[in-house]
């Protein structure tokens, strides 16, 4: 959910305002709706006294492997400027599905926050929603709690099914609608209030030990870019943690190569649920731009730490799970100039199956949870799995990394990892489907 002042004309949003919000869950009512006669507004044939415009952004696949759309409610700034500054504009959004379940969320704009140039701007309430394919009846309203005036618009929203979905059963138990409620870091990366889980069964012939290993992005580029990459990596780790490998043990870990430490580790149960407070703390201890002097001076030793951690994991074994699968999740990483990069060397031959999901960053921050590379409707996500992905040559992304641009790939080369280059949510979905199929066949 976002709130913004949008200028009339070619310029876009000029400010973002914090809002109170209420989560929507299946057949769940937002208690805030009981403070206004919302039911009467919906039944009334009129539109109320406050003119408003509504729009829906096209639904797109997001990093959590869910369909996300954004509903926008706009009020003309000239109307807002006339309102008593001691009041509030309250925004209400209700979705109804074919089964007559109701999902609600709200936001609020304090009119004391009006800017002098409010007449030249629209006040916009934007709510991100995760949806299943289907048809929904949306009712969107605005209410001035001082003048008791309101405005309402009703709109039918159609969400088409994905074409050629590589994971057609992933949404089997998913709630039809969930409101996105977290907009601040680090919760925006994980969305801890979401209750829906992906259905990703993995049937193995023999029990296995599965290690999910996420690498924190290096201290390269702007803080904004590093945070954007962290968000994509966290969402992808959350997706992977929902794979249900019945009878197998699954663990997750996060490596901070810059500070040469294991920042997070957890043995996942069934159903697996990542310990987000603990994982969030790990990110807090590794804020971009706050590296200590000792770590800064020894940044080149991160590659040695990485090799040691990978080697330790590959050469450890458990009699109860003779099959070992390691899935590495990382952004392309370059170590400081002069760092000696050499292929990993193990004391014993590695028998583990190694998969490397290389996540590339988008060009700009995403609103709520929508990856920017997916905006525009219908455009395919760039990039596709390579290496072990077994996808047709025409699916390969042009202009991918040049040889040597990723230090981790050079280090892992002797282990023959199944490499997947991922440039967007659609790429990740294809890679996940291909990887699970490959693992199940063995």
Task: Quickly list DSSP for 29-94.
Answer: --GGGGGTTHHHHHHSSS-BSS--EEEEPPPEE-TTSSEEEEEEEEEEHHHHHTS-TTSEEEEEEE
Q: How far apart are CA 42 and CA 39, in angstroms?
A: 5
Residues 400-417 pLDDT 10s: 444 347 889 988 988 899
**In the prediction, which pLDDT does 345 show?**
78
Q: 378, exposed or middle or buried, with CB in 10 Å at 0-12, 13-18, 19+?
A: exposed
Per-residue pLDDT at 34: 96
pLDDT value at residue 428: 97
Neighbours of 219 (CB within 10 A): 20
Task: Tell me: do 106 and 130 sit in the same domain.
Answer: yes
Are 49 and 150 spatial neighbours (Cβ–Cβ below 8 Å)?
Answer: yes
Distance in angstroms (rounded) separating the CA atoms of residues 103 and 151: 19
Q: Are 164 and 191 contained in the same domain?
A: no
- The pLDDT tens digits of the residues spanning 211-267 come to 999 999 876 667 888 888 999 999 999 999 999 998 899 999 999 998 899 999 999
> H/E element holding 189?
helix 187-190
Q: What is the domain extent for residue 274? A: 187-441
Please tell me whether residues 84 and 134 are part of one structural domain. Answer: yes
Residues 248 and 394 grouped into a single domain: yes
- Statement to judge: residues 340 and 359 lie in one domain: yes
Residues 136 and 253 in one domain: no
Exposed, middle or buried: residue 105 (CB in 10 Å: 0-12, 13-18, 19+)?
buried
Distance CA 32, CA 124 (A): 20
- The last residue of one of the domains, among 159, 179, 199, is 179
- CATH number of the domain bearing residue 80: 2.60.40.10
The answer on 230 and 134 residing in a single domain is no
Q: Please check whether residues 170 and 264 belong to one and the same domain.
A: no
Same domain, yes or no, for 214 and 175?
A: no
Number of Cβ atoms within 10 Å of the Cβ of 436: 18
CB 61, CB 374: distance < 8 Å = yes
Q: What is the pLDDT of residue 3?
A: 62
Residue 362's pLDDT is what? 57
Say yes or no: 400 and 264 in one domain.
yes
Per-residue tokens: 131: 């949806």
Low-confidence ranges of the chain (pLDDT < 50): 7-25, 293-297, 363-404
187 contacts 280 by C-beta, under 8 angstroms: yes
To which H or E segment does residue 441 belong?
helix 425-441
What's the token pair of residue 210?
């599965």
Total domains in the chain come to 2
Same domain, 241 and 208: yes
Distance between CA atoms of 236 and 416, rounded to whole angstroms?
22
Domain boundary among 127, 147, 179: 179
Domain boundary among 154, 179, 204: 179
Residue 430 and residue 385 in contact, taking contact as beta carbons nearer than 8 Å: yes
- Same domain, yes or no, for 42 and 100? yes
The pTM of this model reads 0.82
């Amino acid at each position: 959910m976002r709130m913004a002042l949008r200028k009339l004309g070619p310029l876009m949003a000029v400010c973002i305002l914090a809002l109170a919000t209420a989560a929507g869950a299946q057949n769940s009512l937002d208690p805030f709706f009981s403070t206004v006669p919302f039911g009467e507004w919906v039944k009334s044939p009129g539109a109320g006294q406050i003119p408003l415009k509504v729009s829906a952004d096209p639904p797109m696949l997001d990093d959590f492997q869910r369909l996300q759309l954004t509903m926008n409610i706009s009020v003309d700034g000239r109307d807002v400027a006339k309102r008593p500054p001691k009041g509030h504009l309250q925004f209400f959004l209700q979705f109804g599905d074919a089964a007559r379940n109701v999902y609600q969320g709200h936001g609020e704009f304090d009119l004391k926050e009006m800017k002098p140039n409010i007449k030249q701007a629209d006040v916009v309430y934007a709510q991100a929603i995760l949806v299943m394919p289907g048809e929904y009846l949306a009712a969107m309203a605005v209410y001035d709690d001082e003048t008791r005036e309101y405005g309402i618009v009703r709109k039918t929203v159609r969400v088409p099914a994905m074409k050629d979905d590589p994971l057609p059963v992933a949404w089997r138990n998913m709630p039809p609608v969930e409101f996105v409620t977290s907009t601040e870091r680090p919760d925006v990366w994980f969305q801890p209030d979401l209750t829906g889980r992906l259905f990703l069964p993995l049937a193995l012939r023999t029990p296995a030990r599965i290690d999910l290993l996420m690498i924190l992005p290096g201290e390269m580029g702007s803080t904004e870019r590093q945070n954007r990459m962290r968000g994509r990596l966290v969402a992808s780790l959350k997706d992977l943690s929902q794979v249900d490998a019945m009878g197998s043990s699954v663990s997750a870990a996060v490596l901070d190569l810059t500070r040469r430490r294991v920042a997070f580790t957890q043995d996942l149960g069934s159903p697996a649920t990542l310990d987000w407070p603990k994982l969030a703390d790990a990110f807090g201890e590794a804020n971009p731009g706050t590296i200590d002097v000792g770590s800064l001076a020894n940044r080149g030793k991160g590659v040695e730490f990485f090799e040691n951690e990978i080697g330790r994991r590959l050469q450890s074994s458990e009699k109860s799970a003779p099959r070992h699968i390691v899935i590495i999740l990382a952004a392309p990483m370059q170590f400081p100039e002069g760092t000696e990069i050499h292929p990993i060397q193990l004391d014993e031959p590695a028998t583990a199956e190694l998969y490397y999901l290389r996540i590339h960053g988008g060009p700009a921050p995403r609103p709520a949870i929508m990856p920017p590379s997916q905006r525009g409707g219908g455009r395919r996500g760039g990039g596709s799995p390579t290496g072990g992905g077994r996808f047709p040559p025409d699916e390969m992304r042009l202009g991918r990394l040049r040889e040597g641009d990723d230090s981790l790939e050079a280090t892992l080369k002797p282990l023959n990892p199944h490499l997947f280059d991922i440039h967007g949510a659609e790429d990740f979905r294809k890679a996940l489907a291909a990887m699970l199929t490959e693992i199940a066949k063995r």
